[in-house]
C-alpha cells in the first residue's frame, strides 16, 4: 500500500505539471487562432480598399478613354467639315474662274487692247478675294486645332497626374500590405515555434514520467520479490524448526504424548495461519501491482490521446460538453519521502513492512526447541 501510495503521489505531481504544459499549449493555440482571425479580417479590409481603389482607377480610365473618343469624333467631324468647305470653295473658285475666263476671253477678243489691264486687275481681285477666304478658313481651322491640342494636352496632363497618384497609392498599399503580411507571418511563425516547443516539452515530460514510473515499478517489484524471498526463507526456517520440534516430540512421545501432540497441533495451526497470511499479503500485492499497471496504461493512453487531439483539432475555442471527464488526482508521496525510503536499508524496510501489517503474526518468536535430550515433564512443570 505504501508503494501504491508513493506512485499515486508521484503521478499526481506529474499530472499537475502535464496539465500546466497543456494549458500553456491551449493558450498559445487560442492566441494564434485570435491572431489568425484578426489577420484575416485586416487582410479582407485591405483587399476591399484595394478593390475600391482599382474600381476608381477603372472608372477614371474609362472616362478618360470616353473623353478621348469624343474629342476624336469632334476632330473627325471638324476635319470633314473643313474638307467639305475647302473643296466647295475650290470648286466654286474654279467654276467662277472658268466662267470669268471665258467671258473675259470673249471680251478680250472684241477689245483686247482696252480691256487687257482691266482683265488683269479683276483676275487679281478675284484671286485675292478667294485667297482671303481660304486664309480665314485656314486660320479658323488652325485656331480650332490649337484649342483641340491644348484641350488634349490638359486632358493628358490630368490623366498623367491621376495615373501617377493612383500608381503611387497602389504601390504604397502593396508595400504596406507586404510589410503587414510579413509581420503577421513572423508573429504566426513565432506562435507556431512556441507551440512546437511546448509540444516537445510535453513529450519530454511524458517520457520522463514514464521512465520514472517504470523505474519506481521495477524498484517496487524488486522490493516485493525480496520480501517474498525473505518470507519464503522464513517459511523454510519455520519448516526446519517444525521438523526439529516434531523429531523431538517423537523422541518424547513416550513420556508425554498428549502434551506434545497438543503443542505440535498449536504450532502447526500457527504456522498455517502465518502461511495463509503471507499468501494473502502476496496476493494483495500482486493485485495492487496489476491495478497499478492497468491505471498506468489507462493514464498513458489518455495523455497520449489528449496530446493527439490537441494537435489534430481545428483552431477553435474549447467548449466543454457533458462527456468532459473530471480530474482525478490520487495521492502520491513526495520526492523527499521516496528518497528517504530508497536510502533506508532493506532490513529496516522489511521490519517496517512487518510492523505495518497486523497479519504478520508469525513474527512472534517461539522458543526454539532444544536439541539436547531433556525431560519433557520437567520442562512443562
Average pLDDT over residues 29-38: 77
- The pLDDT value recorded for residue 28 is 75
- The pLDDT value recorded for residue 76 is 75
Convert the chain into a string of H (helix), E (strand) and C (coil): CHHHHHHHHHHHHHHHHHHHHHHHHHHHHHHHHHHHHHHHHHHHHHHHHHHHHHHHHHHHHHHHHHHHHHHHHHHHHHHHHHHHHHHHHHHHHHHHHHHHHHHHHHHHHHCHHHHHHHHHHHHHHHHHHHHHHHHHHHHHHHHHHHHHHHHHHHHHHHHHHHHHHHHHHHHHHHHHHHHHHHHHHHHHHHHHHHHHHHHHHHHHHHHHHHHHHHHHHHHHHHHHHHHHHHHHHHHHHHHHHHHHHHHHHHHHHHHHHHHHHHHHHHHHHHHHHHHHHHHHHHHHHHHHHHHHHHHHHHHHHHHHHHHHHHHHCCCCCCCCCCCCCCCCCCCCCCHHHHHHHHHCCHHHHHHHHHHHCCCCHHHCCCCCCCCCCCCHHHHHC
pLDDT over 70 for what percent of the chain?
75
pLDDT reading at 374 higher than 50:
no
Confidence of residue 200 (pLDDT cuts 50, 70, 90): confident
Average pLDDT over residues 305-330: 58
- The pLDDT value recorded for residue 322 is 54
pLDDT reading at 370 higher than 50:
no
Average pLDDT over residues 78-98: 76
Average pLDDT, the chain: 72
Average pLDDT over residues 221-238: 81
- The pLDDT value recorded for residue 323 is 58
Average pLDDT over residues 221-227: 79
Average pLDDT over residues 312-336: 56
pLDDT tens-digit readout, 97-120: 777 777 766 766 766 666 566 766
- The pLDDT value recorded for residue 14 is 72
pLDDT tens-digit readout, 128-140: 777 777 777 777 7
- The pLDDT value recorded for residue 375 is 43
pLDDT tens-digit readout, 230-275: 888 887 887 888 888 777 767 766 666 667 667 777 877 888 888 8
- The pLDDT value recorded for residue 324 is 52
Average pLDDT over residues 32-43: 77
Amino acid at each position: 500500500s505504501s508503494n501504491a501510495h508513493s506512485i499515486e503521489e508521484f503521478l499526481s505531481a506529474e499530472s499537475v505539471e502535464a496539465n500546466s504544459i497543456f494549458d500553456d499549449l491551449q493558450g498559445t493555440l487560442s492566441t494564434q487562432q485570435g491572431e489568425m482571425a484578426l489577420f484575416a479580417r485586416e487582410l479582407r479590409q485591405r483587399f476591399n480598399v484595394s478593390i475600391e481603389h482599382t474600381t476608381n482607377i477603372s472608372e477614371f480610365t474609362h472616362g478618360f478613354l470616353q473623353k478621348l473618343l469624343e474629342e476624336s469624333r469632334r476632330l473627325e467631324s471638324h476635319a470633314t467639315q473643313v474638307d467639305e468647305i475647302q473643296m466647295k470653295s475650290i470648286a466654286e473658285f474654279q467654276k467662277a474662274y472658268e466662267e470669268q475666263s471665258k467671258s473675259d476671253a470673249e471680251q478680250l477678243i472684241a477689245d483686247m487692247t482696252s480691256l487687257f489691264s482691266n482683265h488683269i486687275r479683276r483676275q487679281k481681285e478675284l484671286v485675292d478675294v478667294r485667297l482671303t477666304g481660304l486664309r480665314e478658313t485656314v486660320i479658323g481651322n488652325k485656331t480650332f486645332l490649337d484649342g483641340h491640342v491644348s484641350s488634349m494636352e490638359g486632358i493628358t496632363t490630368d490623366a498623367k497626374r491621376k495615373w501617377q497618384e493612383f500608381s503611387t497609392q497602389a504601390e504604397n498599399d502593396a508595400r504596406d500590405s507586404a510589410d503587414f503580411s510579413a509581420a503577421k507571418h513572423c508573429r504566426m511563425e513565432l506562435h507556431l515555434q512556441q507551440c512546437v516547443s511546448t509540444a516537445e516539452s510535453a513529450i519530454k515530460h511524458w517520457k520522463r514520467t514514464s521512465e520514472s514510473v517504470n523505474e519506481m515499478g521495477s524498484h517496487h517489484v524488486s522490493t516485493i520479490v525480496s520480501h517474498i524471498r525473505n518470507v519464503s526463507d522464513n517459511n523454510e526456517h519455520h519448516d526446519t524448526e517444525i521438523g526439529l520440534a516434531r523429531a523431538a516430540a517423537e523422541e518424547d512421545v513416550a513420556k508425554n504424548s498428549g502434551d506434545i501432540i497438543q503443542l505440535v497441533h498449536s504450532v502447526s495451526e500457527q504456522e498455517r495461519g502465518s502461511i495463509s497470511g503471507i499468501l494473502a499479503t502476496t496476493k494483495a500485492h500482486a493485485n495492487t501491482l496489476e491495478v497499478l499497471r492497468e491505471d498506468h496504461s489507462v493514464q498513458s493512453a489518455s495523455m497520449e490521446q489528449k496530446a493527439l487531439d490537441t494537435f489534430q483539432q481545428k483552431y477553435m475555442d474549447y467548449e466543454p460538453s457533458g462527456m468532459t471527464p473530471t480530474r482525478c488526482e490520487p495521492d502520491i508521496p513526495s520526492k523527499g519521502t521516496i528518497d528517504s525510503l530508497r536510502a533506508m536499508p532493506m532490513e529496516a524496510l522489511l521490519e517496517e513492512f512487518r510492523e505495518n501489517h497486523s497479519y504478520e503474526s508469525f513474527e512472534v518468536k517461539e522458543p526454539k526447541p532444544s536439541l539436547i535430550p531433556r525431560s519433557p515433564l520437567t520442562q512443562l512443570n
